[in-house]
Copies of this chain bind each other. A is one copy, B any other.
Amino acid sequence: MELNGEGLDARHGQTVEHTVQRLRDAIFAGRLVPGQRLIAGDLTAEIGISRGTVREAFRRLEADGLLEIIPNRGAVVRRLSREQVRELFQIRENLESLAARLAAEHIGIDANRDYFISVWNTVRPSGEMLKTHLFMEHNRLFHRSIVKISGNTMLSDLIETLHLPVVMFQVGQVMQPENMESSHQDHVRVAQAILDGDPAGAEREMRLHLKRSGEWVLRLPSFAFKGDR
């Protein structure tokens, strides 16, 4: 056979998965930017897989909302319109505040508590100002940890695959220090409520946090969104 990039020969039955992961990473890392077109033919040469496999990977990523497949025109990295972002935050507001409530209910379990505290120690606001990139990473870690300990694995999957990463990257490009600061303060309140085992409080604070975030994102200049000029 032949070795692909990482030096490990993806075993039989893992090639598509491998390719999906590779493309996903490339998108999150910004090597593939929203709106960019993906040429199937190029990838076959570049990664060393066949076109059929590439097509399957595209379908997977389309379902995850990371790509958009346009008939006879192939795949492009998804870009959200202002309206879609508004809708997205409205959904997040509900799903993640539910997750926060469940997390507060389950924080009594030692494993959950330990896990949450360890994550919180990593991402808690420190005195120093953070680079945008690192903030985004911490933000993702924090939100994900809450969803994890909610104990609802379907909810977890749902939020995970909710194209959140795409839009977050999209807006991360134009994030300002004061937004990070404000977001941090919201996080403190959410974390506190969860650690206190206060479901209603956790739900409320998470909802407020996302409402504020959403409003801020929608105030961004137009260039950040698809469609409007």
> What is A's interface to B at a CB cutoff of 8 Å?
12-14, 16, 52, 55-56, 59-60, 62-64, 71-72, 84, 87-88, 90-91, 94-95, 98, 152-155, 158, 162
Contacts and interface: CB of A to CB of B under 8 A. Distances in A.
27 contacts: A13-B71, A13-B72, A14-B71, A16-B59, A52-B52, A52-B55, A56-B59, A59-B59, A59-B60, A62-B63, A63-B63, A63-B64, A84-B154, A87-B152, A87-B153, A87-B154, A87-B155, A90-B152, A91-B98, A91-B152, A91-B155, A91-B158, A94-B94, A94-B98, A95-B95, A158-B158, A158-B162
Contacts of A98: 90-91, 94
Contacts of A59: 16, 56, 59-60, 63
Contacts of A63: 59-60, 62-64
Q: Say how many copies of this protein the assembly contains.
A: 2
Contact of A55 (B56, B64, B91, B94): B56
A190 to B, nearest CB: 17
A183 B98 CA distance: 25
A159 to B, nearest CB: 10
Nearest to A156: B87
Contacts of A162: 158
7 pairs of A and B residues whose beta carbons are closest in the complex = A63-B63, A13-B71, A87-B154, A59-B59, A87-B152, A94-B94, A94-B98
